[in-house]
Amino acid sequence: MIDFRYHIVSLISVFLALAVGIILGAGPLKETIGDQLTGQVEQLRTEKEEIRAQLTDETTKRTELEEYVSAASKRVAFDTLKDRRIAVLQMGEVSDELYESVEKQLQYAGATVPARITIGDAWTDPEQADARQSYATSLAEYLPEDQRDLASDKLLASALISALSEKSDTSADELSADAGLAMDVLQGAQLVNLVKFDPIPVDAVVIIDNSNAGAETAAAEGAEAPDYGAASTLRLNIAEAAGRGTEGAVVASPRVVATDLISTIRGNSTALKIVATVSEVNEPVGALNTPLALSAAIGKKVGHFGFEPSATALVPAAVTLPEPDRTVVAPPEGTTDNANTTKKKD
């Protein structure tokens, strides 16, 4: 059993150790410890200043690079999409800053953007599958006959693209009556949100996909990346419908991660031939690549651009496009304006 004398001895040992430490710290080791601490502080201060200088230098270089790319874009992209009307579809949370950087590049290329539309969560929500099927049934009558038997989610995608691109039978500058009705249904179902919408038929589509932003959050937290597979399959329907139903389509994203939309497109032997993709759209180079990739896609040179192994090139091929087709196909005699006679790309 531990007695009182043991406690006394323990306390005396502790006080002796403290006394020895104080004597040594105030005596023989005082200057050595002080010099070491002072040296370490000075070294840390020097390293901090060097890092700060490097950061300032890198920030300056990045700003200069962005300014150069922005200035060069006006020449590089000039008239590559002359007189084209482009609809921009947003998937996930797309900031105004990101959208405006893409819009600016499209405008440098000579295009206009009459439509900016957000794809709603209902488009990919598994619990909304039955509702989507019901809306697809309602929308079938507004589509050409060869598209009315599509699976419900593919039919919804075709309806969206038709609602953006189908010309009136009397004017190439007006959407058809069916297009307007289809858009009303899609908007009423909260499948889409019209951020900006001028009812003019578009020639091509740009999809800004930021639905994979959760991958960065997961990586920062050391968690497993989300599986986007099921949602990407539904979003792919929109991209493919845009690729087939307009002159061309490109999907642009800040990043490329497994199972997201760009990865799904690049891994699909059919989609990769009709839908172009661009990564790092939040960076100056990616934003510039977006109109160039769309122009190349319209010119039948669909490619996939970025620094990933799945990309096919860094820069899209240069093409010269003909004037956009503004002809109107007259409906057969005895039919109405809703004849759905607009030509679609094979």
SS3 letters across 152-209: HHHHHHHHHHHHHHCECCCCCCCECHHHHHHHHHHHHCCCEEEEEECCCCCCEEEEEE
Give the Cβ contact number of residue 195 at 10 Å.
14
Give the per-residue pLDDT at 343.
39
Please give the model's pTM, rounded to 2 decimal places: 0.81
User: Could you give the CA distance from residue 339 to residue 155 in angstroms, rounded to a whole number?
Assistant: 18
Give the per-residue pLDDT at 216.
84
What does DSSP assign to residue 57? H
Q: Which long-range contacts (CB under 8 A, 24 or more apart) does 322-331 make?
A: 323/82, 323/83, 324/83, 324/84, 324/85, 324/203, 324/247, 326/172, 326/173, 327/172, 328/167, 328/168, 328/169, 328/170, 328/171, 328/172, 329/167, 329/169, 330/169, 331/169
- Answer for the pair 259, 228: CB distance below 8 angstroms, yes or no: yes
Residues contacting residue 157 through CB under 8 Å, at least 6 positions apart: 237, 238, 240, 241
Give the per-residue pLDDT at 70.
74
CA dihedral 273, 294, 124, 225 (to 10 degrees): 80
Look at residues 165, 192, 213 and name the one whose alpha carbon lies nearest to residue 342.
165
User: Could you give the CA distance from residue 99 to residue 255 in angstroms, rounded to a whole number?
Assistant: 15
Q: Which residue positions in the chain have pLDDT lower than 70?
A: 1-7, 9, 14-15, 17, 19-35, 37, 330-346
Give 3-state DSSP helix, strand, coil % of the chain, rounded to 5: 50, 10, 35
Q: Take residue 184 and report the two structure tokens written for it.
A: 């009303």
Give the per-residue pLDDT at 30.
52
Give the per-residue pLDDT at 345.
42
Residues contacting residue 232 through CB under 8 Å, at least 6 positions apart: 259, 260, 261, 263, 264
